């Protein structure tokens, strides 16, 4: 009797029932879509941070060149006056070399620290590990006077669990990296190259790469999660020799024993190396700017607010329509009370009807939500996040004579330009999707059911308050 | 069975008030057939609502089998209505989405009768009013007279002590009116239940041994000289 009465009543009031269900479906669908969009934007945010920072590293220690220590950029004078020499002016002073050949330079935005500082940091309390590496840039001047550059990292082969080549930081080439670490530890001249660089220069496992006259055997290619990947990786000691830096590094990656210890470790390192810049992931997060973080904030606040307003409006509409329905059914409920139906039975009848409408609305809402998430994913453009230049190294300057850097970026007429090569400015492009989890869907259905129950509860309460005589008198 | 003592009912209307019943004293015996007459707005329906435990008096008492319906809590009133009273309404008040049988069954829901027993009793009640072949029909598919017979079956199915009817023939044509009054009278005679009928129709009123007349809320009782003969039952309903 209960279900028969319920279903037939809903069929009789099909238009009003459809309005309630569609209202709830739209509200719930919007909540699903926006929650998915927020999750997608947050996930993209996370991917940007991971990409800019790397996996497994809690803190990064670098040291900017001291003010007044000379030009931050690099000035190159090639073949001027038919001298047949290339002159490079950088933070370390001025060097000259043959007109053609490679020139290994330290990262112009970073100054070096002694390798001993890595050991000192490693000994600090709450430090799980520390590794130093040397970021270098190689300028290759061809005999025809063209210039190409690539980034070279010297990696400490004794700390495979930390730094750019740690397993967690690799998206591909883990086996090659393992081989490289094993052979590099033995003092072999081995190199790993990034997948992109390998493709560009037709390199593969077994190829030979010559750096400043020394041959390196390429043991494989790798792809890093981090966007700050270099093009070529060689053992740290050999990189130091190429750079003439002795036992120095310019970046130290530090892992803390726990996330709660990061702040304390950061303070300790700062005390140990007062002139160094100690950056944590949260510092970096604060410096990520651009459309992504704006979208994240927008989605997190305005989006959720809009979803809640629409959901509240759907609830209010459901309640009003249910109350209207109860008002129209006053004689019916009055009659049921007259023949002995208890108020709770009538309330259960009204709530049951609303609950079914809530379930239908929830089911439709899931469909609407999926559709909304699909449309969102299709329509929202890929967004870009930029690391604050304040954290990045200074731009590199080329000068004196028309040159071309790797990738074919032309130097302008005045002979100067800026480039994002090296670890200068990081720009990360990520697609945004609206992933829907089972939890989101269940919560959405629960919201729709709650909407139905609220509407039914209010309507039922209204029906339960009817005095049978008044109810019958009102319509007769 | 009923003892009404100084029963009054005043309705508040904005800043004023309307007195529907004034100090009504009345006794109704078990198994009695009584009609209530009066002009529109003189308190007939209000008195029926009081007798059916659907409204409370402003003052006075109304005893039903010793229970004061004026002071019983709402839950007990609902229980009394469910067990002891059967209502017949002028506009039939059938649930439009339920069939004739289901409408009759609805009266048994508060009595916690099993679905199978409910269905059996509903069909028997419909047979009693000659509508067993219309059990699966919806109200919209039946004539006014048939709908009222479903209403009577619904009042009857729970085997109440009292059937209270508010203008049961008010919406019916002459022939059907005779038919409906005949059915109710037959049930009164055969079942020994009490029958209280509000009516405008003097012909119907005179069929009862007594008629309570309400005039501006004041009650007087008239004995009808001749107790009604059983109403003529149409040949196709005779059994």
pLDDT of A143 above 50: yes
In chain B, residues with a C-beta closer than 8 Å to the C-beta of A12 are 96-97
Query: Which of A305, A301, A246, A298 has the alpha carbon at shortest distance from A30?
Result: A305
Q: What are phi and psi of A414, to 5 degrees?
A: -80, -5
Which chain B residue shows the shortest CA-CA distance from A10?
A: B97
Spacing of C-alpha A274 from chain mean position: 30
Q: Token match 């109440």: residue?
A: B160
Q: Which residues share a beta bridge with A429?
A: A384
- Calculate helix-pair angle for A330-338, A468-475, nearest 10 degrees: 140
Confidence at residue B203, expressed as pLDDT on a 0 to 100 scale: 82
Residues of A in contact with B78 (CB under 8 A): 337, 340-343
What SS3 state is found at A176? Answer: helix
pLDDT above 70: residue A293: no
Residue B234 has pLDDT above 50, yes or no: no
pLDDT of B5 reads 93
CA dist A123 and B119 (Å) reads: 86
| CB contact at 8 A, B211 and B43 | no
The model's confidence at residue A189, banded by pLDDT at 50, 70 and 90, is very high
State the pLDDT confidence band at A417, using cuts at 50, 70 and 90: very low
pLDDT, tens only, B80-130? 998 999 999 988 889 999 999 999 999 999 898 899 999 999 999 999 888
**pLDDT band (50, 70, 90) for residue A476:** very low
Read off the DSSP letter of residue A158: T
Tokens for A421? Answer: 């090569």
- Reported as type and span, the H/E element at residue B225 is none
B107 interaction partners in chain A (CB closer than 8 Å) = 339-340
Q: What is the dihedral of CA B166, B171, B174, B176, to 10 degrees?
A: -80
Q: Give the per-residue pLDDT at B85.
A: 93
Q: Do the beta carbons of residue A346 and residue A333 sit within 8 Å?
A: yes
Q: Which residue has the higher pLDDT, A223 or A281?
A: A223
CB distance from A12 to chain B under 8 Å?
A: yes
Residue A68 or residue A315, greater confidence: A315
Whole-number Å distance between alpha carbons of A253 and A239: 17
Confidence of residue B17 (pLDDT cuts 50, 70, 90): confident
A175 in contact with B at a CB cutoff of 8 Å?
no
Please, what is the average pLDDT of chain B?
A: 87
For residue A178, count other CB atoms closer than 10 A to its CB.
16
A352 contact partners, CB below 8 Å, separation of at least 6: A2, A6, A456
Helix (H, G, I), strand (E, B) or coil at A70: coil
Out of B46, B105, B109, closest to residue A341 by CB: B109
Nearest CA in chain A to B119: A1
Nearest to A342 among B78, B95, B105 (CB): B78
- CA of B157, closest CA in chain A: separation in Å? 11
The helix (H) or strand (E) run that includes residue A406 is none
Distances (CA, A) of A84 to A94, A95, A309, A406, B87: 16, 14, 73, 22, 118
CA-CA distances (angstroms) from residue B239 to A466, B128, B234?
42, 10, 10
CA A80 – CA A87 distance, rounded (Å): 9
Rounded to whole angstroms, the Cα distance separating B31 from B161 reads 8
What is the C-alpha to C-alpha distance for residues A390 and A371, in angstroms, rounded to an integer?
41
Give residue A306's pLDDT.
75
pLDDT digits (tens, 9 = 90+) for A461-474: 887 887 888 778 76
Give the C-alpha separation, A165 to A178, whole Å: 9
Count other Cβ atoms within 10 Å, centred on residue A439. Answer: 9
- Does the pLDDT of residue A397 top 60, yes or no? no
Rg over CA atoms, chain B: 18
Q: What is the pLDDT of residue B207?
A: 87
Which of these, B194, B91, B113, lies nearest to B157 by C-alpha position?
B113
State chain A's mean pLDDT as an integer.
76
Q: Does B90 touch chain A (CB under 8 A)?
A: yes
* Higher pLDDT pick, A350 / A293: A350
Spatial distance between the Cα atoms of A365 and A23, rounded to a whole number of angstroms: 9
Report the number of secondary-structure helices (H) and strands (E) in chain B.
Answer: 7, 10
Q: d(Cα B197, Cα B179) in Å, to the nearest integer?
A: 15
B83 contact residues in A (CB cutoff 8 A): 340
Rg for chain A, CA atoms, rounded: 33
Whether the predicted pLDDT of A172 surpasses 60: yes
Residue B139 pLDDT exceeds 90: yes
The token duo for A430 is 């990520």
| Distance from C-alpha of B186 to C-alpha of A231, rounded to nearest angstrom | 105
Contact A1 B109 (CB under 8 A): yes
Inter-chain touch B89–A472, beta carbons under 8 Å: yes
Tokens representing A337 are 């009370």
Question: CA–CA separation, A110 vs A58, rounded Å?
Answer: 19
Q: Which residue has the tokens 């001027």?
A: A80
| Both structure tokens of A212 | 């400043």
The 3-state DSSP composition of chain A as helix, strand, coil percent (nearest 5) reads: 50, 20, 30
- ipTM of predicted assembly, 2 dp: 0.88
Residue of A nearest to B48 (CA): A469
- Using the beta-carbon criterion (under 8 Å), do A335 and B93 form an inter-chain contact? yes
* β-bridge partners, A428: A385
Other Cβ atoms within 10 Å of A126 Cβ, number: 15
Count of CB atoms situated within 10 Å of the CB of A275: 10
Of A338, A163, A56, residue with least CA distance to B91: A338
Q: pLDDT over 90 for what percent of chain A?
A: 7
What pLDDT score was predicted for residue A77?
Answer: 60
Q: Is B157 exposed, middle or buried (0-12, 13-18, 19+ CB in 10 A)?
A: buried
DSSP string, B118-145: HHHHHHHHHHHTT-GGGTT--GGGS-HH
Q: Is A59 helix (H, G, I), strand (E, B) or coil?
A: strand
Distance from CA of A337 to the nearest CA of B (A): 7
CA distance A219 to A178: 10
Number of helices and strands in chain A (H, E): 14, 19
Chain A segment 344-403 residues within 8 A of B by beta carbon are 345
Three-state DSSP class for residue B53: coil
Per mean pLDDT, which of A314-318, A325-329, B212-216 is the most reliable?
A: B212-216
pLDDT average, residue stretch A4-16: 87
How many C-beta atoms lie closer than 10 Å to residue A403's C-beta? 20
Contact B125, B153 (CB under 8 A): yes
In this complex, the residue of B55, B102, B107 whose CB is nearest that of residue A339 is: B107
Predicted confidence band at A327 (pLDDT cuts at 50, 70, 90)?
confident
pLDDT band at B205 (very low <50, low <70, confident <90, very high): confident
- Please state, as a whole number, how many other Cβ atoms lie within 10 Å of the Cβ of residue A106: 23
Give A19-56 pLDDT, tens digit per residue: 888 888 888 888 888 888 877 777 776 666 555 555 56
pLDDT at A419 over 60: no
Geometric angle at alpha carbon B45, from B64 and B169, rounded to 5°? 110
Average pLDDT over residues A387-394: 40
Q: How far is CA A191 from CA A197, A220, A410, in A?
A: 12, 8, 29
Top residue of B88, B92, B95, B104 to mutate, by most chain A CBs within 10 Å, is: B95
CA distance A354 to A375: 30
């Amino acid at each position: 009797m209960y279900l028969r009465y319920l279903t037939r009543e809903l069929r009789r009031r099909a238009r009003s029932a459809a309005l309630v269900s569609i209202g709830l479906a739209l509200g719930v669908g919007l909540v699903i879509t926006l929650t998915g969009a927020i999750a997608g934007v947050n996930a993209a945010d996370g991917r940007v941070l991971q990409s800019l920072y790397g996996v497994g590293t809690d803190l990064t220690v670098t040291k900017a060149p001291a003010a007044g220590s000379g030009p931050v950029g690099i000035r190159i004078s090639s073949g001027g006056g038919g001298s047949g020499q290339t002159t490079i002016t950088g933070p370390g002073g001025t060097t000259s070399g043959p007109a053609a050949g490679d020139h290994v330079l330290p990262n112009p935005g970073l100054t070096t620290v002694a390798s001993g500082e890595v050991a000192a940091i490693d000994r600090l309390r709450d430090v799980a590990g520390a590794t130093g590496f040397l970021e270098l840039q190689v300028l290759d001047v061809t005999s025809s006077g063209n210039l190409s550059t690539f980034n070279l990292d010297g990696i400490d082969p004794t700390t495979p669990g930390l730094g750019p080549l740690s397993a967690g930081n690799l998206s591909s080439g883990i086996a090659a990296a393992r081989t490289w670490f094993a052979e590099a530890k033995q003092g072999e001249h081995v190199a790993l190259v990034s997948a992109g660089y390998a493709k560009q220069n037709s390199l593969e496992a077994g190829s030979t790469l010559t750096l400043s006259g020394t041959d390196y055997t390429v043991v494989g290619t790798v792809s890093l999660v981090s966007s700050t990947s270099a093009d070529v990786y060689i053992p740290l000691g050999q990189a130091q020799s190429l750079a003439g830096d002795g036992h120095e590094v310019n970046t130290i990656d530090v892992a803390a024993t726990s996330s709660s210890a990061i702040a304390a470790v950061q303070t300790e390192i700062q005390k140990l190396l007062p002139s160094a810049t100690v950056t944590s992931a949260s510092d970096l997060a604060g410096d990520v700017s651009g459309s992504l973080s704006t979208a994240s904030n927008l989605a997190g606040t305005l989006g959720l607010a809009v979803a809640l307003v629409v959901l509240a409006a759907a609830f209010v509409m459901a309640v009003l329509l249910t109350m209207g329905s109860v008002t129209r059914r006053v004689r019916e409920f009055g009659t049921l009370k007259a023949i002995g139906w208890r108020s709770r039975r009538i309330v259960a009848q009204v709530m049951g009807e609303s609950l079914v409408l809530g379930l239908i609305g929830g089911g439709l809402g899931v469909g609407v939500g999926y559709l909304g998430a699909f449309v969102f994913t299709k329509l929202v453009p890929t967004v870009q996040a930029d690391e604050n230049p304040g954290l990045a190294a200074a731009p590199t300057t080329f000068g004196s004579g028309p040159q071309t850097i790797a990738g074919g970026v032309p130097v302008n007429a005045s002979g100067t330009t800026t480039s994002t090569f090296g670890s200068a400015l990081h720009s990360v492009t990520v697609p945004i999707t609206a992933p829907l989890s089972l939890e989101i869907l269940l919560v959405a259905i629960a919201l729709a059911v709650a909407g139905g129950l609220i509407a039914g509860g209010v309507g039922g309460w209204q029906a339960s308050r009817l005095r049978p005589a008044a109810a019958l008198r009102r319509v007769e | 069975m009923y003892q009404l003592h100084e029963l009054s009912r005043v309705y508040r209307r904005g800043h004023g008030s309307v007195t529907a019943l004034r100090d009504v004293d009345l006794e109704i015996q078990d198994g009695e057939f009584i009609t209530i007459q009066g002009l529109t707005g003189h308190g007939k329906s209000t008195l029926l609502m009081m007798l059916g435990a659907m409204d409370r008096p402003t003052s006075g008492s109304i005893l039903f089998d010793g229970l004061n319906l004026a002071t019983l809590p709402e839950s007990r009133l609902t229980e009394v209505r469910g067990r002891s009273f059967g209502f017949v309404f002028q506009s039939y008040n059938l649930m439009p989405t339920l069939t004739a049988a289901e409408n009759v069954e609805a009266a048994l829901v508060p009595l916690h009768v099993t679905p199978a027993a409910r269905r059996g009793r509903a069909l028997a009640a419909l047979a009693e009013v000659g509508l067993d072949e219309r059990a699966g029909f919806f109200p919209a598919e039946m004539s006014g007279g048939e709908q009222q017979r479903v209403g009577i079956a619904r009042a009857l199915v729970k085997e109440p002590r009292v059937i209270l009817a508010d203008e049961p023939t008010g919406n019916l044509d002459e022939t059907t009116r005779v038919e409906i009054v005949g059915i109710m009278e037959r049930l009164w005679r055969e079942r020994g239940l009490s029958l209280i009928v509000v009516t405008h129709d003097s012909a119907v009123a005179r069929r009862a041994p007594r008629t309570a007349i309400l005039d501006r809320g004041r009650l007087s009782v008239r004995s009808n000289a001749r107790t009604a003969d059983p109403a003529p039952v149409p040949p196709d309903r005779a059994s």
